[in-house]
Amino acid sequence: MIIHIAHLYYDLMNLYGESGNVKALKMQLENQGIKVKIDFLTITDSLHFSDYDFIYMGMGTEQNQQLVLKHLLSYQKDIKKAIEKGTFFLITGNALELFGKAIITSKKIKALNIFSFETKQQEMRIVEECIGNTNIINKPILGFQNRSGVISNIEANAFLTLTKGTGHSPKMKKEGIMKNHFFGTYLIGPILIRNPELLKYFVKQLILELDSNFKFKPFHLTLENKAYQTFMEKYHILI
């Protein structure tokens, strides 16, 4: 079994070490005896979404975000088809904004229009640790956000319900997008390293899509589990 991963815009959308999400996923898949092939793709490459089992894109500067958007617009139909087919997507940070209808700065910039939300860029940045609940795993998800965008018209199928923040910034109660196997969230961290149960979820689901009878080996996430537990205890979150 080989799992094919596309790391989109690894050079432009990799603030805060977000490539760690792909590294963590690869390591845990290989620990299960699965071969992993990663294609590192950027704006000089042609994108073939049907070739991949898992597609990842992380956070970038606002300038890089706009460069990426120009490249992605010609693949709108392919992206929609991949989401409907059930291809796994993990989209973190402001990469999520690209999948809405528009990004509003001093002007309204057309985005991919995959989902119905719009993003408005504000002068004040939202910078804080956050904790939220999701219905795909039974433990809270933690992450960091550093963004100027605020999403409106979030759909009913939000990824997270935010329950706690460490700052005083205005927050969206519903956060991110989840549809089929598309998961988008503002939370960075990298989120898969900081949330071992979420990492295990993606590893298991990716494998089970290809082999529903796969026999899993024990996961070795001692350090990740300890870091997660320490953070939760610090903020008095019961897990």
| pLDDT tens-digit map of 207-238 | 999 999 999 999 999 999 999 999 888 876 65
According to the model, what pLDDT value does residue 92 have?
97
Query: What pTM, to 2 d.p., does this model score?
Result: 0.94
Asked if pLDDT for residue 191 goes beyond 80, the answer is yes
What tens digit of pLDDT does each residue of 77-99 get? 999 999 999 999 999 999 999 99
Asked if pLDDT for residue 181 goes beyond 90, the answer is yes
According to the model, what pLDDT value does residue 169 have?
53
CATH superfamily, domain at 2-234 = Class I glutamine amidotransferase (GATase) domain (3.40.50.880)
What tens digit of pLDDT does each residue of 132-156 get? 999 999 999 999 999 989 887 776 6
The tokens for 226 are 């300890």
Residues 6+ apart with CB under 8 A from 95: 13, 57, 58, 59, 60, 65, 68, 184
- Inter-axis angle of helices 20-31 and 196-210, to 10 degrees? 60
SS3 116: coil
Asked if pLDDT for residue 171 goes beyond 80, the answer is no
* Cα 93 from chain centroid (whole Å): 7
According to the model, what pLDDT value does residue 61 have?
93
Residues in the chain: 239
Residue closest to 93 by CA, chosen among 126, 131, 67 = 126
According to the model, what pLDDT value does residue 144 have?
92
According to the model, what pLDDT value does residue 124 have?
84
Of all residues in the chain, what percent carry a pLDDT higher than 90?
Answer: 77
